Structure 1
Amino acid sequence: MINPSHSIYLLNSKVKMSLVILSLCMLSLLVAVWTETNADEAAGDHRPLACHIMGNIGGVIDYRYSRVGKEQKVAMEMAVEDFARSSCSKQLVLQLEDSRGDSARAASSTVELIDSKQVRALIGTMSAQETGPLSRVAKNIKYLPIISLTSPAITPPSIAHQLPHFFQFSDHITFHIQCIAAIVGQFKWRKVTVIYESKNGFSAYSGILTLLSDTLKAVNTDIEYHLTFPSLPSLSNVEAFIEQELVNMRSRSNRVFVVVISSLEMAVLLFEKAKQLGMMEKGYVWIVTDEIASFLDSCDSSVVNNMQGVIGFRTGFERSSKPFKRFRSRFRSKYRSEYPEEEEHCNPSIFALRAYDATWAIAQAMKNSPEKISSKDLSKAISSSRFRGVSGAIRFKNNVLRKMPSFQIINVVGNSYRELAVWSPDFGFLKSLEKHDGVNSSSSFEEWGPVHWPGGKGSVPRGWVISETDIPLKIGVPAMGAFHEFVKVSLDEANNKTCVTGFSINVFEATLKRLPYNLPYVFVPFNGSYDKMVEQVYDKGLDAAVGDFSIEPGRFQYAEFSQPYIDSRLVMTVPAKSAKSNITWMLKTFTKKLWLLMVAMHMFIGCLVWILERGNNTEFEGIGGMLWFSVTVIFHAHGQPLRNNLSRVMVAPWLFVILIVTASFTADLSSRMTVSRLEPSVLDIDTLLKTNAPVGCNGNSFVVRYLTNVLHFKPENIRKFYSENDYLEAFETGHIKAAFFVEPHAKIFLGKYCKRFTQAKSTFQLGGFGFVFPKGSPLVFDMSEAILKVIESGEMRQMEEILSFPNCSSDALRDNSSLDLEPFAGLFILSGSVSAFGFLVAILRTGKNLQILSYIQEALTKRRIWRWASIHLSRENSTIPKTKDQVQASTSVELANFAR
């Protein structure tokens, strides 16, 4: 008998077995279908199992020799597969052609894809310069949508109009150049050498160097030399060619090299040879762009080791996003399978991401369009594409990616690199890609840590050196200078050589000692004007000029000047005349204000003392007595001492004031009567202009031009001289009435002849003395910095001693002003305070006695004070001598009459 539970168990087992067999059959069928589909595609049959073919996409890239092309090929295939998987109703087929880095082969492959394969759109690394001529040969190209993956994008406006359906799927070259200029300007390098590889039609767009030069000039930098490398396939011996070019570059003084356009393969050979030739050592600077910096993650350790200290920038994108991480995982797997020899270095770059997004943009445009859409309408559909790709937001404006790029600034260190900063056209340098606020932004690399330069850490390389094989600089010096204290050229007969000495030469030699490199030079005496010497620097006849060169605007069109090592003004020098002091009236010793204050204080203190002493001196009754007492009490003319203590307190400070003022009066009056003064014979320039007076100046300097153009002297009134002795003779004969010198020269002249000449009030500010260099010379910045160091160290002050004359000061003019109140203000305040206190006490004491106040009021009302004063003065002026008793008696009678 069969157990029911056992029967159910057997039934369930059979059902399970049947289900397993059915599942295996279905899986086998799916594998067969997938294998048949792949076999049909490999054989050229593009009919999918359940999807009909919509169209072909053509691709022309270099996926045999170029790392960029390999990544682009893998990414484009991934995009087609992903699109087919996401939208099975419409499928695309990718037709790839290998250009092998040859422009001619790329052109022929493009024509074949259009004519034979009948592609609906084209993706490749051909530039607008390469595609433009093809539009005249194959008319279909003119209307075919073409997406260029060339980086950086170089599309002249003229060609853009010829190819209205040409899309640039990369950042324009302008942004790359702006980033280069920002880095160079950050470190203030004045000269650069530009290196680029002529590939993909780059040489056809000659305006790139002009654009780079103009952008660098905005940061005061010039292109000293540019080097063009042919494409790798066109060279029979690549290593020998690169080595020879690097040797030529090493022989030049510039040490800042910018690799603007280059394939990764060319860059690998370039830095390998540069390291072998010692061009990756201290003092060198290398800057690379996106095409090299973006592949540092995929380079071998030996390549990175050859690039130690290199600074580069690469296009920034969201490396931490989930879409990128998924894409990177699948890309690494597919890249390893197709290129197993590069298994260790298979990270995708920005070029792979853009190739993927470009393919997806075409696929999406075809999906959203009718089956028989025209090329023109397909181009419109592509230009209106808006989606979020693995490289970022995809959106076109004028057939160029609308997204504003940002670049990560990196520094190669050790086995990898270090991110220094982020640069964007809108915000400049930032600390990070995500934040642009003012707190996070910065304009200095110093905030991000030290930069690892070639040869190791250290200060920023100068970028310019003088090598041992360089010819010494020809430094011009004026042989006909008017004042030999600045530059003197003489012949050393013993050694048969020319000697150059002077203050300007001493400053120049002291400055050279503070340069971080050796600067070989030789002095070349120049027999000509200063302006002609500046022009010789401009014409390359001289490498620089040293001397008493004034920095003035007219010379900047020919040369550049260093920091001024001495200040300067235009000084008017005239003969001096003796000025006799006018001592007829000694009142000029004090100012009117001081005289009036002394009289007022004296009368005030006298009146107060009269009030206090009235009870003890009955002979000084009445208004007349008060006035006479106020005049004589201080000097005790009446012969009676002061008896009131308060009177003594008030008089004591005033006597001290009188003592000090009297001593000052005596000293100033003695000085005015004995000391000789010199005054300018001509006070100002207006006097010279009004009288058409002849003036003199240095005929070799710019002063002639300054007097004519700025001060408006008539040319016939200007006399030119070439030595200081000529000025003396001209002044003595009356040939000139004044001479104009730059201030350093005026100090020399007046220092020697201060008793005969003096400086007028008219002066005009100038730019000072500086050294002359050619336009764009890197020495301008270095010498200016060294001059400031000489000034700050105090060495400049010591060297200026040879220009001074301590025994004869040029400032012979004295101050003729009278003594004012200011020196005695404190004394007057002290005496006035004591007197005011005494006055207050006197008022309190006599306030109850109104008799005196009534008497004063009555006397003033009668106005008889004038009568008394006139009688008294007439008596004083009388020629009849009187005895003391007679004077006192007559005074008593007069006072009695006055009282009546």
Structure 2
Amino acid sequence: MASVFVFLYYFVLLLSLLGQKTSSTSTDTSCVPWKANLGVVIDRSSRVGREQKTAIEMAVNDLRHCSEFTLHVRDSHGNSAASTAIELISHKHVDAILGTLTQQEATFVHNSLNIYSIPIISLSPTSSVSEQAPATTSSFIQISANITYKMQGIAAIVGHFGWRKVITVNEESNRFSSDYRPTTLLSDALQAVGSSVDYHLAFPRVSSLLDPGPLMENELLKLKNMDVKVFVVMQASVEFARIMFEKAKLLGMMETQYVWIVSDEIGNILDSVGFYAVKSMQGVVGLKTYFADTTEHFRKFHKRFKLKYSKEYPEEENSNASLYALRAYDAVKVIANALQQSEGKINESTDFKNHILSSDFEGLSGRISFEHGLLRRMPNFQIINVIGGSYREAAFWSPGHGFVADITEVDGKDMSSGDRVVIGLRSLYWPGGKLDVPKGWAMGSKEKPLRIGVPAKGAFPQFVKVSYDQHLNRTVISGFSIAVFEAAVRHLPYHLYFQYIPFFGTYDEMLEGVRNKSLDAAVGDTEIMADRYAYAVFTQPYIDSGLQMVVTAEPSIKDSEFIAFKAFTKKMWIQYGALSLLTGAIIWLSEYATGNTDFPKQPFFDLIGYILWLSVSIMSFSLRERIENVASRLVLAAWIAVVVVVAASFTAVLSTLMTVPRIQPSILDVDYLLKTNAPVGCNGNSFIDRYLINALDFKPGNIRKINSIDEYPGAFNQGEIKAAFFVAPHAKVFLSKYCQGYTTSARTFKLGGFGFVFQKGSPLATDFSEAILKVTQSGEVNKIEEKHCRISRSAPTTKT
């Protein structure tokens, strides 16, 4: 009974296929079946070649009512197809050739045989000419779009994410191909978006190698050690891509921070390969040429193709038809239509070739019409993202339209003069399974990180502190300078692999290590000095600096018996006394003139004493004389108001003098230190001693080198130094910690500020300068300074 059901199943399936063939061949019953010899050159070792062979055979069978093709199929085995094409023309006398020939091969074939009338239709995935460089002969036609468009699409992805450099990877096709052309076109497209090709790697064709694995592994290892982490795979077979991504995964190049972009040559075939081929491509982004896969014509073809392909190649995991199979089918139809239009007169005129070039119909792969030997219509690309065993669609990209969410909204529309549809890409999963966009550039590597020197003997651990954590069993590097550096690293446009190297010498010796390349950079409280540019280059200063003199502080008022007179200045006392006498004199004259008996006429000296007494009595509000004149009363009222205000001010100032200690520097300027040969102290590992000698004319014998912030108070107390010289950030820290008894004095000597040090010619200096500006403008530096330096808001910073 089961065998009966099986028989019925296959019988129904056979009838269905016969019905589909009948429907496909019944489109035109008025055709005359003209005969022609058709040469086919494909690479059966590749998935694309096998699909093309199957599709061509299907097309010949479907169109047999109009064209009787005699197929002469040859396998190029991945080598040049030129010699095979010559053999087909010379011995099989084919009327047209279909195959994976390039423009250079076609030109070679025509020139070798001196025959230019036989059309060669190229099925190569990538066109070998551009619109600016049309084919040298009109007998060479390519069923592919201008290669420039795909390069612009790749550049659009690179520009969208702001990657500044890429590395291109290419599988060489054969000896006739100009493989430099795609790289040149991509370089031009990248330049338009502010990027460039940093390095180009060309692999031999996989089919030409007995064991491509070791070679590919060695070459990928070279790429891994480069700084650029954005790789663009331009021309490659699916076999090449499978091996390459497997090796890249083994080498750790399919992890976070890496970017892989593939052209449509690989993207177009992803529907046809199985999970095994894409499992190593997780996170890959690429182009896929868009075509309508929802039409009834396509569904019928695809169903028959899967059945035929799986029967011919049962070992294949997937039997879906790719774009290349559709184009091969359409190519046969192009020749069949031209054969009908020329009424089978292939060798008698050029009509056959011209009819091919004038083709215009809707094929399985899209609109088929030619211009300059290429498909006329600009392609639309899907932006795909490989996830799991397949891919997802992130957006569309089309020349003139850019990124769009739905290609049907703009397909076929001219938007050159109207509004462009501009969108962003959907969130993409990158290698390593992360949604965060990789920076595309990494300085150093996990295996060989950059060596960043840090001063291990700095006098101020608030800026750089090197300690050993016994619980973690490792050296811990911390401090203000380290925090600023790590904040700047987060703002770099690429990933930075680095490790801190504690340096136990002086700052100048550390810079010498950068110069001789034993260190890649130096991070710390390093002052930017003109003479240090002989060693290395500096970044933008991350904190301003200057040389300040710190001295002991002493009370500004020593004689407490006369402290009351310090409330006002000398000028103020004189003015106040003069106004008091003047007020007393005005009141006496006014009252005497009106005949007030309380203000009698007196001898001159007695009158002066009386006016003085009158002034004092008015200030103390003890005036006993009677005031009768209105003018005198007005003057008196105004003066009493002044006295009240002055008395209140006097009381406030005097209270301040008596309750708040007033200090002043014990030494006011550098000249006093120079004249008295006073000893001074400074950081023994820094540039300050050299600056004191060369710029301020201190004698070397008067300079004491001090190696710790905590040693300065003892040196002051024991009289070893009379003043200490710090850079401004260090002075803030010192006064914050020892805010009692010390203050700054004299003027600040302007310096370059603190900066990070890099080797001469290193691009890191410029990138870090930009990152430092971002950190500074965001206010992050101020927060880091308050956290690590603990600047006290009330710490004395009195200057004179």
Q: Same fold (TM over 0.5)?
A: yes
* Mapped partners of 2:372, 2:527: distance in 1: 53
* Mapped partners of 1:223, 1:560: distance in 2: 27
* Aligned counterparts, 1:705-854, within 5 A: 723-726=690-693, 729-730=696-697, 756-759=745-748, 769-770=755-756, 772=758, 784=771, 791=780, 794-801=783-790, 812=799
Q: 745-754 vs 400-409, which deviates more?
A: 745-754
Identify the residue that residue 42 of structure 2 maps to in structure 1.
61
Matched, 1:337 2:308: yes
Identify the residue that residue 197 of structure 1 maps to in structure 2.
171
Report the alpha carbon displacement of residue 302 of structure 1 after superposing the two structures with TM: 3.2
AA of the residue aligned to 2:327: R
Q: Deviations over 1:424-458 (max 9, x none)?
A: 34344333323469998432533xxxx44555466
Report the alpha carbon displacement of residue 193 of structure 1 after superposing the two structures with TM: 5.4
* Mapped partners of 2:398, 2:306: distance in 1: 32
* Aligned counterparts, 1:568-587, within 5 A: 568=544
State, as a whole percentage, how many aligned pairs show the same letter: 37
Q: Deviations over 1:375-399 (max 9, x none)?
A: 8776665555444333233444444
* Mapped partners of 1:174, 1:549: distance in 2: 50
Distance 1:574 1:520, change over 3 A: closer
Distance 1:560 1:778, change over 3 A: closer
AA of the residue aligned to 2:308: S
Q: Classify the secondary structure of the residue corresponding to 2:407.
A: coil
* Aligned counterparts, 1:545-624, within 5 A: 545-547=522-524, 566-568=542-544
Matched, 1:389 2:363: yes
* Mapped partners of 1:92, 1:127: distance in 2: 27
Q: 1:195, 1:257 within 8 Å by CA — same for their partners in 2? A: yes
Q: 1:487, 1:500 within 8 Å by CA — same for their partners in 2? A: yes
Q: Classify the secondary structure of the residue corresponding to 1:113.
A: helix
* Mapped partners of 2:191, 2:505: distance in 1: 32
Distance 1:662 1:403, change over 3 A: farther
* Mapped partners of 2:70, 2:763: distance in 1: 53
Q: 348-357 vs 451-460, which deviates more?
A: 451-460
Matched, 1:353 2:326: yes
Report the alpha carbon displacement of residue 114 of structure 1 after superposing the two structures with TM: 3.5
Q: Classify the secondary structure of the residue corresponding to 2:379.
A: coil
* Mapped partners of 1:175, 1:589: distance in 2: 89
Q: Deviations over 1:107-136 (max 9, x none)?
A: 112223334445555432222344444454
TM-score (norm 1): 0.55
Identify the residue that residue 127 of structure 1 maps to in structure 2.
102
* Mapped partners of 2:216, 2:203: distance in 1: 8
Report the alpha carbon displacement of residue 243 of structure 1 after superposing the two structures with TM: 5.5
Distance 1:190 1:469, change over 3 A: same
What runs of 5+ residues in structure 2 fail to find an aligned partner? 1-17, 411-417, 467-474, 552-565, 577-595, 599-617, 670-685, 701-725
Report the alpha carbon displacement of residue 192 of structure 1 after superposing the two structures with TM: 5.7
Q: 1:59, 1:94 within 8 Å by CA — same for their partners in 2? A: no
Report the alpha carbon displacement of residue 293 of structure 1 after superposing the two structures with TM: 2.5
Identify the residue that residue 107 of structure 1 maps to in structure 2.
82
Q: Deviations over 1:805-848 (max 9, x none)?
A: 989866626xxxxxxxxxxxxxxxxxxxxxxxxxxxxxxxxxxx
Q: Deviations over 1:636-662 (max 9, x none)?
A: 999679999xx99xx999987984577
Distance 1:338 1:353, change over 3 A: closer
Q: 1:129, 1:155 within 8 Å by CA — same for their partners in 2? A: no
- Match 2:237 to one of 255, 263, 277: 263
AA of the residue aligned to 1:357: D
Q: 2:456, 2:502 within 8 Å by CA — same for their partners in 1? A: no
Q: 1:429, 1:441 within 8 Å by CA — same for their partners in 2? A: yes
AA of the residue aligned to 1:98: R
Report the alpha carbon displacement of residue 263 of structure 1 after superposing the two structures with TM: 1.1
AA of the residue aligned to 2:40: G
Q: Deviations over 1:755-794 (max 9, x none)?
A: 553259xx99x99734547756799689959978993794
* Mapped partners of 1:792, 1:353: distance in 2: 60
Q: 2:445, 2:497 within 8 Å by CA — same for their partners in 1? A: no
* Mapped partners of 2:528, 2:189: distance in 1: 28
Identify the residue that residue 452 of structure 2 maps to in structure 1.
475
Q: 2:339, 2:346 within 8 Å by CA — same for their partners in 1? A: no
AA of the residue aligned to 2:84: S
Q: 2:46, 2:239 within 8 Å by CA — same for their partners in 1? A: yes
Q: Classify the secondary structure of the residue corresponding to 1:723.
A: helix
* Aligned counterparts, 1:407-418, within 5 A: 407-418=381-392
What runs of 5+ residues in structure 1 fail to find an aligned partner? 1-30, 39-47, 490-497, 591-616, 620-631, 682-700, 702-719, 734-740, 814-900
* Aligned counterparts, 1:285-434, within 5 A: 285-320=259-294, 322=295, 325-334=296-305, 336-337=307-308, 340-342=311-313, 345-365=318-338, 367-368=340-341, 371=345, 382-434=356-408
**RMSD (CA atoms):** 6.9
AA of the residue aligned to 1:112: E
Report the alpha carbon displacement of residue 671 of structure 1 after superposing the two structures with TM: 11
Q: 2:465, 2:477 within 8 Å by CA — same for their partners in 1? A: yes
Distance 1:652 1:304, change over 3 A: farther
Q: Which has the higher helix share?
A: 1
Identify the residue that residue 54 of structure 2 maps to in structure 1.
74
AA of the residue aligned to 2:408: E
The structure number with the bigger radius of gyration is 1
AA of the residue aligned to 1:59: V
Q: 2:464, 2:525 within 8 Å by CA — same for their partners in 1? A: yes
Q: Deviations over 1:733-774 (max 9, x none)?
A: 9xxxxxxx99869989999997553259xx99x997345477
- Match 1:442 to one of 423, 444, 447: 423
TM-score (norm 2): 0.61
How many residues align? The count is: 673
* Mapped partners of 1:532, 1:173: distance in 2: 51
AA of the residue aligned to 1:93: F
Q: Deviations over 1:479-514 (max 9, x none)?
A: 99999997899xxxxxxxx99998645654788899
Distance 1:126 1:372, change over 3 A: closer
Distance 1:308 1:342, change over 3 A: farther
Q: 1:148, 1:169 within 8 Å by CA — same for their partners in 2? A: yes
* Mapped partners of 1:550, 1:426: distance in 2: 52
Q: 1:474, 1:542 within 8 Å by CA — same for their partners in 2? A: yes
* Mapped partners of 2:265, 2:537: distance in 1: 37
* Aligned counterparts, 1:115-154, within 5 A: 115-119=90-94, 121-134=96-109, 136-141=111-116, 145-154=119-128
Q: 1:758, 1:811 within 8 Å by CA — same for their partners in 2? A: no
Q: Classify the secondary structure of the residue corresponding to 2:293.
A: coil
Q: Classify the secondary structure of the residue corresponding to 2:696.
A: helix
Report the alpha carbon displacement of residue 477 of structure 1 after superposing the two structures with TM: 6.6
Distance 1:394 1:812, change over 3 A: farther
Report the alpha carbon displacement of residue 350 of structure 1 after superposing the two structures with TM: 1.7
